[in-house]
């Protein structure tokens, strides 16, 4: 496949890396490849429906078995600066 004019998105989920590709201007990703890291093999997915590029989010999902409690402890231990505004002074006027 020539790479000029092609949109490519990648995502890693567990031991599989997904590569989605489609032609620019079409707005759809219709070609899907899977790379299985455990077996060092590529798999072509030819029976998947193309989906709009504009409404998709490609992200990396870490599924290495990290303990959620440890993640929450790490988040709680990080200090975040207070972004609250000071209270507004109340004024009263009588007419």
Length of the chain: 95
Closest CA to 32 of 4, 56, 64: 56
Query: In the structure encoding, which two tokens stand for residue 46, read together?
Result: 């030819």
Chain segment 2-53, per-residue pLDDT in tens:
556 777 778 788 888 888 777 766 666 677 888 899 999 998 876 666 655 5
Q: Quick one: average pLDDT of 86-94?
A: 50
């Amino acid at each position: 496949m020539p790479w000029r004019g092609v949109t490519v998105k990648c995502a890693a989920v567990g031991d599989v890396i997904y590569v989605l590709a489609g032609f620019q201007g079409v707005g759809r990703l219709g070609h899907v490849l899977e790379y299985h890291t455990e077996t060092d093999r590529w798999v072509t997915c030819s029976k998947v429906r193309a989906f709009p590029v504009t409404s998709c989010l490609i992200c990396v999902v870490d599924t290495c078995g990290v303990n959620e409690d440890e993640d929450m402890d790490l988040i709680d231990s990080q200090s975040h600066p207070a972004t609250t505004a000071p209270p507004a002074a109340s004024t009263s006027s009588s007419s």
